[in-house]
């Protein structure tokens, strides 16, 4: 056998390991807005429960371990954070983990409808009640078994990353709590994983909106929709159509705003996607390009 062939054979197991590493989802990124993966105990022991602050955390069986999949809010303090783990016998232990710093870029957006930047007094009551409604959906912790390997909810172009510090008409607002994918009005939106529709409605900022509960505190939200094709209580499969893209609410053009929430906090949706899926968002026309 020639040298290059031998070399390739040596590389194969490495390539295999590497591809395993990049496809294991969700990806760990222990930063504000990211995810910490924390092994708690062997799966031959009973499944423990864990809390970050007052929120119960998703726990899955992963490579022989009970692993906590911990959502870290954009406000998470950098440095040592603590997970509270409770055994089935009621013993409580504290597990420390480190959170690293991450600086998200700034973005400036001009909104023509000034009411969507500085709402009228009459709008505030509606906005506050919608915030409570969103919190209720995001704070769920159901016993559904979550699928954490998402597929893309639409094909389109990545137009806004998670975490960007935003200024609307030069005024600072909350950082971007999801991923924006631009696509023409009417583009089909599918559920990236199986789940239950837990709320739908027309929201002041978010426009037509759907919340999907995937289980154990993993909840996703779809905003600015044109049509909503599901109703509260429906069970959906991975890949099932739930809506179409639109430009309802506070928008500058048709796109999907997609948020992913874990233990009550919004995290980067990209961490639930394979690198192949993310590449498609950067070059959405690649597969259909013709000479």
Question: Binding residues for Zn ion, per CB under 5 A?
Answer: 178, 180, 257
* Beta carbon nearer to Zn ion, 65 or 201: 201
| Residue with Cβ nearer Zn ion (99 or 182) | 182
Which is nearer to Zn ion, 76 or 209 (by Cβ)? 209
Whichever of 50 and 281 has its CB closer to Zn ion, that residue is: 281
Q: How far is the CB of 259 from Zn ion (least distance, A)?
A: 8
> Which residues, including other chains, have CB under 8 Å from residue 222's CB and lie 6 or more apart?
153, 189, 209, 210, 212, 242, 243, 256, 257, 258
From the CB of 68, what's the least distance to Zn ion, in Å? Answer: 28
Q: Hey, what are 49's tokens? A: 């429960």
Any idea of the CA torsion for 187, 33, 217, 243, to the nearest 10 degrees?
-10
**Which tokens sit at 245?**
């893209």
Q: What is d(CA 198, CA 189) in angstroms, rounded to the nearest whole number?
A: 17
Left (φ > 0), alpha (ψ -120 to 50) or beta: where does 149 sit?
A: beta
Q: Residues 195, 214: contact at Cβ < 8 Å?
A: yes
Number of alpha carbons in the 13 Å side-chain half-sphere of residue 34: 17
What span, in angstroms and rounded, lies between the C-alpha atoms of 215 and 210? 16
Nearer to Zn ion, 141 or 257 (CB): 257
Could you tell me the smallest distance in angstroms from the CB atom of residue 155 to Zn ion? Answer: 17
User: What 3-state class would DSSP assign to 181?
Assistant: strand
Give the nearest distance from C-beta 57 to Zn ion in angstroms: 25
Instruction: Please state the closest distance from residue 207 (CB atom) to Zn ion, in A.
Output: 11
Q: How far is the CB of 205 from Zn ion (least distance, A)?
A: 10
From the CB of 178, what's the least distance to Zn ion, in Å?
Answer: 5
19 or 252: whose CB is closer to Zn ion?
Answer: 252
Least distance between Zn ion and beta carbon 159 (Å): 9
Q: Are 213 and 144 in contact (CB under 8 A)?
A: yes
DSSP alpha helix (H) spans, the chain: 3-23, 121-138, 275-282
**Cβ-based nearer residue to Zn ion, 81 or 209:** 209
Measuring CA to CA, which residue among 288, 260, 281, 259 is closest to residue 155? 281
- If the CB atoms of residues 34 and 178 are measured against Zn ion, the closer one turns out to be 178
Indicate the residue whose CB is closest to Zn ion: 257
The β-bridge partners of 167 are: 108, 172
**Phi, psi for residue 155 in degrees, rounded to 5:** -95, 130
Given strand 171-172, what is the order of strands in its sheet?
106-109, 165-168, 171-172
């Amino acid at each position: 056998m020639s040298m290059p062939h031998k070399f390739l054979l040596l590389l194969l197991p490495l390539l295999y390991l590497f591809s395993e590493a990049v496809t294991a989802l969700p990806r760990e990124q222990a930063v504000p807005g990211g995810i910490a993966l924390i092994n708690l105990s062997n799966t031959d022991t009973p499944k423990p429960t864990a809390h970050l602050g007052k929120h119960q955390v998703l726990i899955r069986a992963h490579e022989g371990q009970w692993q906590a999949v911990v959502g870290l809010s954009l406000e998470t303090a950098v440095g040592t954070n603590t997970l509270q783990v409770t055994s089935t016998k009621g013993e409580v232990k504290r597990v420390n983990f480190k959170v690293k710093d991450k600086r998200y870029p700034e973005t400036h957006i001009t909104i023509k409808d000034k009411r969507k930047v500085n709402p009228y007094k009459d709008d505030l009551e509606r906005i506050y009640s919608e915030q409570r409604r969103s919190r209720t959906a995001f704070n769920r912790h159901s016993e559904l078994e979550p699928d954490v390997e998402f597929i893309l909810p639409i094909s389109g172009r990545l137009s806004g990353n998670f975490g960007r510090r935003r200024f609307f008409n030069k005024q600072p607002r909350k950082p971007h709590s999801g991923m924006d994918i631009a696509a023409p009005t009417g583009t089909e939106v599918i559920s990236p994983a199986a789940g239950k529709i837990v709320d739908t409605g027309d929201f002041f900022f978010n426009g037509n909106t759907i919340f999907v509960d995937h289980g154990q505190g993993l909840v996703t939200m779809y905003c600015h929709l044109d049509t909503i094709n599901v109703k509260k209580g429906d069970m959906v499969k991975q890949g099932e159509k739930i809506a179409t893209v639109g430009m309802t609410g506070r928008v500058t053009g048709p796109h999907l705003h997609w948020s992913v929430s874990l233990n009550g906090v919004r995290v980067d949706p990209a961490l639930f996607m394979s690198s192949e899926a993310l590449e498609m968002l950067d070059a959405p026309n690649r597969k259909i390009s013709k000479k």
